[in-house]
Structure 1
Amino acid sequence: MKFHRLILLTVALTLAGGSAIYADSIAQKVKIMFNKQEMADGGALIDGKAYVGVRSLGDVVQGMVAWDDDGKSVTIYKPNVHMFVMSGSKPFGSVPKGKSTSFQVFAQIDNLQTDISGFKVTVSDPYGDETWLDGRTSTDSDFPTDKDNFWFTSAEKSYEFKSSGKYTLRFWMQPADNSPMQVVSEKTILAK
C-alpha cells in the first residue's frame, strides 16, 4: 500500500514539475532596454515575439496611457513638451553645487491629442527626492483652453542644488479621466 502511494506521489510531482518547466519555456522573461535604460517590468518572450506591458512602455516613452474598458483598447498619447529653465534672462543647464538659484521653467506644449485635468512641474535631486515647483488644474482660471498649443511659465522658485549630480525637471500631465499624473517630459540640470 505504501508502495502505491509512493508511486502516485512520484508521478504527481513529476507532472507538476514538468508543467512548470513547460510553462516557463512558453513565456520567458526578457530584458528590454530603451535609450540604455532598462525597463523595470521587462517583458516576455512568447512564441518568438517580445511583449511588454503598455504602462511600462508609456512610462519609458513619456506618454499618457489611457484604457478604454468599453472598447477594450489602450491608447498612448505623447504630446510634444519642450522645457527650458531661465535664471533672470539667461537660460542654464548647469549650476555650481551648493548654490541656491532662483529660476523659472518655460514649457511649450503642442500635439496634445486628449483632454487633461491638470499638470505640474517638479524637480528631483540626484537621490530621487522630488520637489513640486508649480502646476495647474482645470479649476484654475488660467488653465489652458487650447490643448493643442499652449505655453506655461512657472512661478519663479528658489532651489538649492545641494549635491553634485543630475537634477531632473519633470513635466507631468493628468488625463481628464482622473487617472494619476504621468511624466510627459524631462530635462536635466547638472550640479557640479
Structure 2
Amino acid sequence: MKVRVGVILLILCLWGGSLLYAMSNDIKIFVNNSEQSSKAVEIDGKVYVPLNQLSNEQQVMLKWDEEQNKLNIYKPNVHLTTLSTKGAFGDVPKGTHPISVLAQVDNLRTDIAELKITITSPQNKEKLIQSLDTRGSKDSSKENFWFLTDTTEYNFDKAGNYYVRLYMKPTFSKEWFLVSEKQIISK
C-alpha cells in the first residue's frame, strides 16, 4: 500500500511540474537594447527575472541570507568622471592619453572589502586602472566617499566605445559586483 501511495505521489509531482512548465513562457530579457543570455519566465501573468543575471545590468550587489530567507539588494549611488590633463572628458581621439578616474560614492549601505576601476576596449579587453583594498581602513564602512585613481597612460587604439567600470567586493562576498559604468567614445 505504501509503495502504491508513493508511486501516485511521484506521478502527481511529475504531472504538476510538467503542467507548470507548460504554463510558463520563456521571455527574452533586453537591457539597453542588448539581449541577455538568461530568460525570464511568466507564470500566472507574473514575470520572474533571474536576479543574478541582472545584478550587473542594474549595478547592484546581492546578498542572500538563507537562514532568514531574505534577499538584500544594495544599490550605491556612484558617479564616475574621467579626467585627463585638460580636465573631464567623455570622448577622446585615437591614441595614447593620460587618464584618471574620480569616483564619488554615496548611499553605500554595506561594508566593502575592495574596489577596483577598469577600462574595457571595443574588443572587450579589460585593463585594471587601479584597485583599493579597504579592509581595515576607514573607507570600508563609509557610506559616502570619493576615490581618485592615479594617472595612467592608456592607448585608445581603435575607434569605438570604451567602458570605465567600478566594481565593489562587499565584505559578505568573494564576488565582484559592477556598481557603475561610464562610456568613453574614441574617434
Do both proteins adopt the same fold according to a TM-score greater than 0.5, normalized to the shorter chain? yes
- 2:101 pairs with 1:105: yes
Unaligned runs of 5+ in 2: 1-14
Name stretches of at least 5 consecutive residues in structure 1 with no aligned partner.
1-17
Which residue does the alignment assign to 2:4? none
- 2:17 and 2:141 map into 1 onto residues whose CA distance is 54
Deviations 1:95-139 (A, max 9, x none): 112x10111100100000111101000000011110001011124
Deviation of 1:35 (Å): 3.0
Counterparts in 2 of 1:140 and 1:133: CA distance versus 1, 3 Å: farther
Question: Which of residues 170, 179, 182 is equivalent to 2:177?
Answer: 182
Query: What's the secondary structure of 1:144's corresponding residue?
Result: helix
Residue by residue over 1:144-189, the C-alpha shift from the partner in whole angstroms, topping out at 9 and shown as x without a partner, is 1552110000011100011111000000000101331110000011
Q: Distance in 1 between matches of 2:132 and 2:140?
A: 12
Could you tell me whether the CA contact under 8 Å between 2:112 and 2:135 is conserved in 1? no
Deviation at 1:40, TM superposition (A): 2.5
Of all paired residues, the percent bearing the same amino acid is: 35
| Root-mean-square deviation over aligned CA pairs | 2.0
Provide the C-alpha distance between the structure 1 equivalents of 2:186 and 2:73, rounded to a whole number of angstroms.
33
TM-score by length of 1: 0.83
Specify whether residues 50 and 145 from structure 1 end up closer, same or farther in structure 2 by C-alpha distance, changes over 3 A only.
closer
Shift of 1:21: 6.8
Matches within 5 A, 1:84-163: 84-97=81-94, 99-139=95-135, 144-145=139-140, 147-163=142-158
2:70 is the counterpart of 1:61: no
Alignment of 1:2-41 (within 5 A): 22-41=19-38
How many Å separate the matches in 2 of 1:59 and 1:42? 15
Contact 2:107/2:143 (<8 A) preserved: yes
Q: Residue in 2 aligned with 1:49?
A: 46
TM-score computed with the length of structure 2 as normaliser: 0.85
Q: Secondary structure at the match of 2:54?
A: helix
Q: Distance in 1 between matches of 2:110 and 2:155?
A: 35
Whole-Å separation in 2 of the counterparts to 1:158 and 1:140: 30
Question: For 2:141 and 2:135, how far apart are their aligned partners in 1?
Answer: 15
